[in-house]
C-alpha cells in the first residue's frame, strides 16, 4: 500500500523547511523561493540542516523558484542524499 504523509513545517536545528513529504519510505524536503533561484533554495536546505533528522533514509532535497509575475515554477533543482 502506498502511503504519503505531508506535514506542516517541521522545526529543525536551523529553522524550518517549507514542505516535507514522506512517501513509501522516501523523504522529500522542499524549499520554495519567489523570484530568486532554485539553487539558492537547495543551498538553504543544506546550510540550515532541514534534512538532518532524516539521516539513514532515502532523502531528496528539492529547491523550487516561483515567478511572482506568472505564479509558475521558473526552475527547480534536486539532489539525492
Q: Which residues contact 55 (CB under 8 A, 6 or more apart)?
A: none
What's the average model confidence in pLDDT over 63-78? 98
In a domain, 56, yes or no: yes
In a domain, 3, yes or no: no
In a domain, 8, yes or no: no
Range of the domain at 72: 14-80
| Number of folded domains that form the chain | 1
Specify the pTM. 0.85
In a domain, 64, yes or no: yes
DSSP reduced 3-state for 17 = coil
Which pLDDT does position 8 carry in this prediction? Answer: 56
Model confidence pLDDT, tens digit, residues 25-37: 999 999 999 999 9
What is the pLDDT confidence band of residue 15, given thresholds at 50, 70 and 90?
A: confident
Half-sphere exposure of 17 (CA within 13 A, CB side): 28
Which pLDDT does position 2 carry in this prediction? Answer: 59
Task: Say how far apart CA 56 and CA 43 lie, in whole Å.
Answer: 20
Query: Taking the CB of residue 19, how many other CB atoms lie within 10 A of it?
Result: 17
Amino acid at each position: 500500500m502506498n502511503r504519503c504523509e505531508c506535514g506542516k513545517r517541521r522545526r529543525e536545528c536551523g529553522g524550518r523547511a517549507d514542505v516535507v513529504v514522506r512517501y513509501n519510505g522516501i523523504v522529500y524536503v522542499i524549499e520554495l523561493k519567489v523570484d530568486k533561484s532554485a539553487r539558492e533554495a537547495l543551498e538553504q536546505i543544506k546550510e540550515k540542516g532541514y534534512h538532518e533528522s532524516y539521516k539513514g533514509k532515502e532523502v531528496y532535497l528539492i529547491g523550487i523558484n516561483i515567478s511572482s509575475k506568472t505564479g509558475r515554477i521558473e526552475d527547480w533543482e534536486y539532489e539525492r542524499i
